[in-house]
Amino acid sequence: MRGYYSVDQVRAAEADLFTRVREGVPMQRAAYGLARVVAAELRTRTGGVSGRNVTLLVGSGDNGGDALFAGAFLRRRGVAVRAVLLDQARAHSKGLAALRKSGGRVATDIGTPDLVVDGIVGISGHGPLRPAAADLVGKVRAPIISVDLPSGVDPDSGAVDGPAVRADVTVTFGAYKRVHALAAPWCGRVELVDIGLRLVDADLQAMEIAEVGSLWPIPRSTDDKYTQGVVGIRAGSARYPGAAVLCTGGAVAATSGMVRYVGSATDQVLAHSPEVVAAPDFDSVGRVQAWVVGPGCGTDYSALDILERVLGTDLPVVVDADALTLLATHPHLVRFRQAPTLLTPHAGEFERLAGAAPGPDRVGAVRKLAEAWGVTVLLKGRATVIAAPGAPTYVNEAGGSWAATAGSGDVLSGIIGALLAAGLEPAIAAAMAARVHSLAANLAAEGSAPISASPLLSHVTPAIRLVRTYVL
């Protein structure tokens, strides 16, 4: 797992570090690591280091000190360094002295740099950039490397509610912070510099690709189609038959067990996935080990009746799409249900369920709903957040927004359902499915082309094959 740490956790680890090393050592380690990343970026972008120009935007905190000491290291590599001090009276005195001693200079304008280092605000800062800083950042035309996090982006929630830096690279020290997952588009590439922190378990975690591959259900020598997991899917309607095709297709692609389908889109489902076993009605479905209910089902009385019957079983259930709309007015059907239950809302569906939008603190909002209802909740987005009562919270940063297309959520719910049927617990199944789903979207887009849900579905199997290569 990769941990993403809160400000409080980082501060506690830093306080411990300060008791173990001499004063100033952590900042020197951070500054040296920052300087190395800046030099490597200069080399990549301009072909060299010596003779290049770097401008430091320096605030009053330790991040400003990191930037100033890094500037001194860069001067020794022959880089021309100028520092723009946003609060000269409160600039880090030792860092400023080191920069000046190395031949760096203080300036009032940005100049024409090859790179800009953003050392304006650190993890103690909150809220948007102040006007003077925003004005400076608005004039930057060079790539930006941020120190620890892009200034103006909230370190815990990743929220941006005004002017902020959009970095090309973020260099963080000792630990990944929550902002790096929750506001990835603002952070750019994130580079971690080890400064010697001793870390406890993070309050927000992401599954590494090798972990996903190692846990993915693969047929064993003793398995048959039943032991690998049988998932039942209630999806689709006369108006939305494609939802059934996409949802069953996701389940078929996810595992080698069996997919059973009940709904009005049998012909379309079988035309796309002839291995699906279709039933004429709910009572004829046969034995399943998990259910997916909701995509494209509608919200009429018959849809409510099926939802009640599915949730009345003692099986794991994924509740998605139209079924979430029904739950918003019938929450008693799912609150503190004894069997594993996973809700997969987008922001609008979340608001209907919770009575309020997720807001800037998406992690806190998802945790609150999960605890209040006694279920696992997956809130969709570029940074998908998954929370369950009394369990770690997971995040999947998709690396892009290619999956933001109609029907992609139907594919995701099918994948999750198949993993639940294979015996995985809901939060892990959701985290694994979100990782493979986003990877499939990126593969389908090939990094540059908009996609729809159909090519995303066709890339689920290649995505699983790819995550499996990390453990084979």
Same domain (yes/no): 131, 223: no
Q: Which residues are annotated as a binding site for K(+)?
A: 63, 118, 151
Angle at 396 between CA 442 and CA 384, to 5 degrees: 100
Q: Which residues are annotated as a binding site?
A: 62-66, 118, 122-128, 148, 151, 243, 296, 346, 380-384, 409-410
For strand 144-147 and strand 341-343, is the pairing parallel, antiparallel, or unpaired? unpaired
Given 205, 235, 269, which residue is the final one in a domain? 205
Same domain (yes/no): 315, 390: yes
DSSP code per residue over 193-250: E---------SEEE--HHHHHHHS----TT--TTTT-EEEEE---SS-HHHHHHHHHH
Angle at 355 between CA 354 and CA 360, to 5 degrees: 75
Task: Supply the CATH number for residue 124's domain.
Answer: 3.40.50.10260
Q: Which residues are annotated as a binding site for AMP?
A: 380-384, 409
Same domain (yes/no): 261, 197: no
Same domain (yes/no): 301, 262: yes
Same domain (yes/no): 319, 411: yes
Nearest to 186, CA basis, from 167, 203, 202: 167
Same domain (yes/no): 328, 237: yes
- Low-confidence stretches of the chain (pLDDT beneath 70): 447, 472
Same domain (yes/no): 279, 411: yes
* Full residue range of the structural domain in which residue 384 is found: 209-469
Residue 173, beta-bridge partner list: 193
Same domain (yes/no): 277, 410: yes
Same domain (yes/no): 300, 447: yes
- Predicted confidence at residue 348, as pLDDT, reads 97
Same domain (yes/no): 192, 295: no
Nearest to 412, CA basis, from 440, 392, 451: 440
- Predicted confidence at residue 471, as pLDDT, reads 85
Could you give the number of structural domains in the chain? Answer: 2
- Beta carbons of 377 and 343 less than 8 angstroms apart: yes
- Predicted confidence at residue 410, as pLDDT, reads 98
Given 146, 170, 205, which residue is the final one in a domain? 205
Structure tokens at 12: 């506690």
- Predicted confidence at residue 223, as pLDDT, reads 85
Given 149, 184, 205, which residue is the final one in a domain? 205
Task: Supply the CATH number for residue 382's domain.
Answer: 3.40.1190.20
Same domain (yes/no): 256, 195: no
- Predicted confidence at residue 472, as pLDDT, reads 67
- Predicted confidence at residue 417, as pLDDT, reads 98
Same domain (yes/no): 240, 188: no
Q: Which residues are annotated as a binding site for (6S)-NADPHX?
A: 62-66, 122-128, 148, 243, 296, 346, 410
Measured CA to CA, the distance from residue 422 to residue 216 in angstroms comes to 9
